[in-house]
């Protein structure tokens, strides 16, 4: 069977319009191939939250750069004539965004301070703080550092730029059991803060374990925070991990990264504070296990999640896998296969090598954006206007990704293509192309087999509709022209 003929067609989502107002992490993108209703549920509150959430008031009740809510753009309010506008919302920032106590001796009292800050221009009104229903009873919140316990009638007021502290306490009463997978079954909970911030209530996950023998605690910090754009170099820090009786002697990092991403820790996964290049859009979950001077590992690894979200109107990714390349992560001349991403303006000209009766346009200068013409000028001559595409990453030695971005599209139909420039002796590659519109994944064609010098016409992008349409040949298959060489292109 011909693999190209048996390859499934890509998943598609057509969008008429998407508004770039920033995406919550839970709404990174729709599932390709499905229509999505982006209006809030009728069962939701005016801010999209569940009105049935029970927020605890004042009670007896590692880390990251902090979690923020309340910075989204307003979506408008229905106010009848004569009605007063609602009070303006505030912005809340909590640090740490997640609390990890690690393993603590049964009966011992452990506390972690939580900072609650007002990050907006409107004072933050805190109405209640406590552990949410379903949290382990071994957790509680101490409010003695506040001037009083917050209530809806008498909230704690945090001025803009100011902060307050509370202590989160963990007192394990028994040793936590070990699950069937050999890992500790953790005590888990959610500290919930009710306030006048956009997106309230604000939840802070809490986890810990009761143990009979001391084990070190792993702590992760990421300088760039929890949401970044593609091609961000992340600076990971594990040097605040600690051992109750001694020092940390060894660090081991691991990561779950989006399909197609092959980034590595630098200089190595055993370095206390490595760097990591997040090139592919999606969710990266980092894990850290540490060992003390007796080679005792942390009771469970610390975790930290980073979401990579494109910030351009149109974001295109090319990734590929080459089975004949034994190490797709190595770098250097001829170290891997070389595929190239192309983004075509409708004014592109050139020969008709695919025989469809119109100029192909591939390798046209200046109307094909690719490695030789990475930053063409298609729009205004004003350099401050972001109306031109840019190839922001060119990979010549295997796997990718290659990224092209465009912030202010013209009202035209663009074309996207992939050229297998040089296999460097590694044989066929399987290419994947993803298209994001306003940070939403709307098109994906995955694992399309390409051979040396193939030219694949992938899809079109119609603007301003935001419609992405697969390009096919007369037989309805992927449109791939073998041995493609534009005679007018000279490098």
Give the predicted TM-score (pTM) of the model: 0.67
Question: Among the three residues 309, 324, 354, which one is the final residue of a domain in this structure?
Answer: 309
Structural domain of 140: 55-68+89-213
Residues paired with 118 in a beta bridge:
92
Residue 294: per-residue pLDDT: 86
Do 363 and 460 lie in one domain? The reply is yes
Name 195's Cβ contacts closer than 8 Å, sequence gap at least 6: 90, 92, 124, 125, 126, 127, 155, 201, 202
Q: Show pLDDT as tens, one digit a residue, over the chain (491 residues).
A: 433 333 344 444 433 333 333 333 333 333 333 333 333 344 434 344 443 333 333 333 344 444 444 333 333 444 455 555 567 899 999 999 999 998 888 998 999 999 999 998 999 999 999 999 999 999 999 999 999 999 999 999 999 999 999 999 999 999 999 888 878 899 999 999 999 999 999 999 999 999 887 889 999 999 999 999 999 999 999 999 998 778 999 999 999 999 889 899 999 999 999 999 999 999 999 999 999 988 989 988 999 999 999 999 999 999 999 999 988 887 778 788 999 999 999 999 999 999 999 999 999 999 999 999 999 999 877 777 788 999 988 877 777 799 999 999 999 999 999 999 999 999 999 999 999 999 999 999 999 999 999 999 999 999 999 999 999 999 999 999 999 999 988 77
Is 390 inside a domain boundary? yes
Residue 35: per-residue pLDDT: 36
Is 49 inside a domain boundary? no
Is 7 inside a domain boundary? no
Peptide bond into 201 cis (omega under 30): yes
Is 34 inside a domain boundary? no
DSSP string across 344-383: E-TT-----TT-SSS---TT-TTTEESGGGSS---S-S-T
Residue 84: per-residue pLDDT: 55
Please report, for residues 18, 263, 265, 367, the alpha-carbon distance to residue 123 in angstroms, rounded to integers and kept in the order given. Answer: 32, 42, 41, 51
What's the number of domains the chain is made of?
Answer: 3
Is 41 inside a domain boundary? no
Do 191 and 288 lie in one domain? The reply is no
Is 47 inside a domain boundary? no
Do 334 and 438 lie in one domain? The reply is yes
Question: Among the three residues 181, 213, 245, which one is the final residue of a domain in this structure?
Answer: 213
Do 301 and 444 lie in one domain? The reply is no
Do 96 and 125 lie in one domain? The reply is yes
Residue 343: per-residue pLDDT: 98
Do 267 and 353 lie in one domain? The reply is no
Residue 418: per-residue pLDDT: 98
Do 351 and 376 lie in one domain? The reply is yes
Is 222 inside a domain boundary? yes
The CATH number of the domain holding residue 144 is 2.60.40.10
- How far is it, in rounded angstroms, from Cα 353 to Cα 369? 19
- How far is it, in rounded angstroms, from Cα 214 to Cα 223? 29
């Amino acid at each position: 069977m011909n693999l190209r003929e048996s390859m499934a067609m890509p998943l598609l989502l057509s969008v008429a319009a998407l508004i770039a107002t920033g995406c919550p992490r839970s709404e990174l993108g729709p599932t390709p191939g499905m229509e999505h209703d982006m209006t809030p549920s009728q069962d939701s509150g005016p801010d999209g939250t569940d009105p049935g959430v029970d927020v605890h008031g004042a009670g007896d009740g590692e880390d990251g750069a902090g979690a923020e809510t309340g910075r989204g753009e307003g979506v408008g309010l229905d106010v009848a004539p004569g009605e007063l506008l609602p009070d303006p919302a505030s912005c809340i920032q909590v640090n740490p965004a997640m609390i990890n106590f690690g393993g603590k001796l049964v009966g011992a009292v452990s506390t972690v301070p939580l900072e609650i800050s007002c990050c907006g221009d409107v004072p933050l009104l805190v109405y209640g703080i406590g552990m949410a229903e379903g949290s382990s009873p071994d957790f509680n919140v101490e409010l003695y550092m506040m001037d009083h316990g917050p209530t809806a009638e008498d909230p704690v007021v945090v001025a803009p730029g100011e902060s307050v502290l509370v202590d989160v306490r963990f007192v394990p009463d028994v040793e936590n059991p070990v699950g069937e997978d050999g890992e500790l079954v953790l005590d888990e909970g959610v500290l919930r803060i009710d306030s006048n911030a956009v997106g309230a209530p604000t939840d802070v996950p809490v986890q810990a374990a009761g143990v009979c023998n001391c084990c070190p605690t792993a702590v992760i910090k990421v300088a760039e925070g929890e949401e970044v754009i593609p091609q961000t170099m992340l600076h990971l820090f594990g040097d605040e991990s600690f051992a109750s009786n001694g020092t940390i002697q060894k660090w081991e990092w691991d990561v779950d990264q989006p399909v197609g991403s092959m980034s590595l820790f630098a200089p190595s996964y055993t370095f206390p504070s490595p760097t990591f290049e997040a090139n592919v859009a999606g969710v990266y979950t980092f894990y850290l296990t540490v060992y003390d001077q007796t080679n005792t590992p942390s009771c469970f690894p610390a975790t930290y999640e980073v979401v990579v979200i494109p910030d351009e109107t149109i974001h295109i990714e090319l990734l590929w896998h080459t089975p004949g390349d034994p190490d797709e992560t190595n770098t250097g001349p001829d170290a891997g296969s070389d595929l190239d991403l192309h983004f075509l303006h409708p004014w592109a000209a050139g020969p008709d090598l695919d025989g469809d009766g119109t100029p192909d346009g591939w390798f046209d200068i200046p109307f094909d954006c690719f490695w030789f013409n990475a930053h063409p000028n298609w729009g205004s001559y004003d350099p401050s206007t972001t109306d031109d595409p840019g190839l922001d990453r060119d990979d010549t030695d295997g796997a990718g990704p290659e990224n092209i971005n465009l912030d202010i599209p013209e009202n035209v139909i663009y074309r996207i293509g992939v050229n297998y420039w040089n296999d460097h002796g590694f044989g066929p590659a399987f290419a994947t192309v993803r298209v994001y519109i306003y940070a939403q994944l709307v098109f994906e064609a995955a694992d399309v087999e390409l051979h040396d010098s193939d030219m694949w016409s992938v899809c079109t992008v119609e603007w301003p509709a935001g419609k992405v349409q697969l390009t096919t040949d007369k037989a309805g298959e992927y449109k791939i022209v073998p041995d493609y060489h534009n005679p007018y292109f000279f490098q």
